[in-house]
């Protein structure tokens, strides 16, 4: 890999957190300020990790070590990583490993940043997972809209090939870039020759995935954590975070903060501390969006909440894709939500009723509310529709959209009342605060 800093890293949006005290995945970046090539990577972390992990005097299998560490998936769902490893290893036929580096959440940059500055941690984890479950092939899935990222990871793979580092075949793929194309069954479906759209029916991917074989699909960040646990052990991993939710996580912080960027934080860090370490708010905040476009709006009274699933669950929230967007008080949260819902409706798979009919209807109702054109039935209709969406789709896409809409009605309740009584607020005419891609689906899902 070229030792010069790639363009992706120098973007203002990806300015790194100046306090690297919690850094693990990004430790090399904080120490040197440059992406790690293979020489840098091995100098910092030592030889490639093994599937047997030292835990004091005990030698653990990778699944045992990961279970002891308490690692959960960092792609959004938070599923226990050890359980996935065991399910795939116990399946019929030789398994396959898939690295999900699609990062289709528009507000997230964490996986792109990680691959740009520490690609070998991700590849180490993928190869290690393959060895642990008995796979001989790793498929790395990237969006075809990011050629720089494809080049960065391809260069890292070439370094490893020349060094004869890996005993498994690693294949790099460029997929269509739609919001739902990063869903695990979308990746499997595409690798099997179909469209990059979710497949909602059984069997699950760990039972029958790529070429009908047991398939382990992990997010890029999860695999990087796996590589570190193998080297340093579960006890080391648990030295940060909380007892129930250990370790660190990558976050993309944007909006009304001084230094937007990708940060590494210990789980259990309060939302307000994360904002402070991104330079602090640039103006008084009205709310934050946690988890991404399918996440949850939280009012500022909840900013002291620790970043853990258990503490966020009572608020109907979760870390999700590791996104935190600070919305200033003068902005119109209803308008921002309407724009996001319009995007989500356009990027749905349209394979089942909730996405084909329900989600567009919710988006249209929300746009009407934001524009101050609501009829007296709109609010009750909107609440009824958002209540009907969750759990009815072939994938979780409508659930996230419904969560976003319902949380906006709660977090911006005063604005809802004003829009219903007096029409659109003046902030509707101000420039948007959240960058939302065009509400048009990909040209092709294949």
User: CA–CA distance from 290 to each of 7, 399, 402, 434 (Å)?
Assistant: 27, 15, 14, 13
This prediction's pTM: 0.94
pLDDT at res. 8: 32
Is the pLDDT confidence value at 7 over 60? no
8 Å CB contact between 35 and 114: no
CA dihedral 139, 144, 148, 149 (to 10 degrees): -30
Confidence of residue 20 (pLDDT cuts 50, 70, 90): low
- Sign of the dihedral through C-alpha 29, 229, 157, 250: negative
209-236 b/e (C-beta count within 10 Å ≥ 16 → b):
bbeebbbbbbbbbbbbbbbbbbbbbbee
Which residues, at least 6 apart from 183, have a Cβ–Cβ distance to it below 8 Å?
A: 198, 395, 396, 397
Residues 26-36 have a mean pLDDT of: 92
CA distance 143 to 165: 26
End-to-end CA distance of the chain: 30
CA neighbor of 97 nearest in space, from 133, 50, 61 = 133
Q: Between the ranges 218-232, 351-365, 384-398, where is the mean pLDDT highest?
A: 218-232
Domains in the chain: ranges and CATH: 7-237 (3.40.50.11540), 248-328 (3.10.20.600), 333-429 (1.20.1440.230)
CA distance 372 to 429: 12
Phi, psi of 389 (to 5 degrees): -70, -50
What is the pLDDT of the chain when averaged over all its residues?
Answer: 92
What's the pLDDT tens digit per position in 52-85? 898 778 889 999 999 999 999 999 888 999 999 9
Is the pLDDT confidence value at 294 over 90? yes
Confidence of residue 441 (pLDDT cuts 50, 70, 90): confident
Confidence of residue 445 (pLDDT cuts 50, 70, 90): very high
Phi, psi of 56 (to 5 degrees): 70, -130
What's the pLDDT tens digit per position in 343-388? 999 999 889 888 999 999 999 999 999 999 988 899 999 999 999 9
Q: In what order do the strands lie in the sheet with 261-266?
A: 261-266, 248-255, 323-328, 285-290, 296-299
What's the pLDDT tens digit per position in 242-256? 999 999 999 999 999
CA neighbor of 306 nearest in space, from 257, 263, 272, 262 = 272
């Amino acid at each position: 890999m070229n030792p010069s800093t790639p363009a992706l890293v120098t973007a203002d949006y990806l300015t790194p957190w100046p306090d690297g005290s919690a850094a693990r995945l990004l430790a090399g970046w904080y120490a040197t300020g440059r992406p790690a090539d293979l020489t840098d990577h091995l100098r910092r972390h030592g030889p490639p990790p093994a599937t047997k992990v030292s835990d004091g005097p005990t030698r653990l299998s990778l699944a045992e070590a990961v279970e002891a560490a308490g690692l959960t998936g960092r792609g959004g769902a938070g599923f226990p990583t050890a359980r996935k490893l065991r399910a795939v290893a116990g399946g019929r036929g030789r398994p396959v490993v898939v690295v999900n580096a699609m990062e289709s959440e528009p507000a997230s940059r964490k996986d792109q940043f990680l691959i740009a500055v520490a690609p070998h941690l991700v590849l180490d984890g993928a190869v290690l997972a393959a060895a642990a479950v008995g796979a001989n092939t790793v498929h790395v899935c990237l969006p075809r809209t990011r050629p720089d990222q494809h080049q960065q990871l391809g260069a890292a793979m070439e370094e490893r090939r020349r060094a004869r580092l890996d005993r498994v075949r690693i294949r790099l793929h460029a997929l269509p870039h739609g919001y739902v194309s990063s869903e695990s069954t979308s990746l499997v479906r595409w690798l099997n020759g179909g469209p990059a759209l979710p497949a909602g029916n059984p069997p699950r991917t760990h039972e029958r995935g790529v070429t009908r074989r047991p398939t382990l699909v992990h997010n890029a960040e999860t695999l990087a954590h796996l590589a570190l646990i193998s080297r340093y052990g579960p006890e080391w991993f648990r030295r940060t975070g909380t007892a129930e939710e250990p370790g660190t996580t990558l976050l993309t912080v944007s909006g009304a903060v001084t230094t937007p960027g990708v940060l590494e934080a210990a789980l259990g860090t309060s939302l307000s501390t994360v904002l402070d370490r991104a330079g602090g708010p640039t103006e008084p905040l009205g709310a934050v969006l946690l988890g991404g476009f399918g996440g949850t709006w939280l009012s500022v009274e909840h900013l002291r909440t620790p970043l853990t699933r258990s503490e966020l669950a009572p608020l109907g929230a979760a870390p999700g894709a590791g996104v935190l967007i600070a919305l200033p008080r003068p902005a119109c949260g209803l308008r921002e939500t309407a724009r996001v819902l319009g995007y989500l409706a356009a990027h749905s798979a349209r394979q089942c009723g909730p996405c084909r009919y329900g989600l567009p209807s919710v988006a249209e109702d929300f746009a009407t509310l934001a524009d101050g054109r609501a009829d007296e039935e709109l609010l009750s209709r909107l609440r009824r529709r958002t209540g009907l969406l969750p759990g009815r789709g072939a994938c979780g896409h409508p659930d996230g959209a419904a969560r976003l809409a319902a949380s906006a009605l709660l977090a911006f309740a005063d604005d809802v009342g004003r829009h219903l009584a007096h029409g659109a607020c003046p902030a509707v005419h101000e420039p948007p605060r959240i960058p939302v891609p065009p509400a048009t689906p990909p040209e092709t899902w294949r």
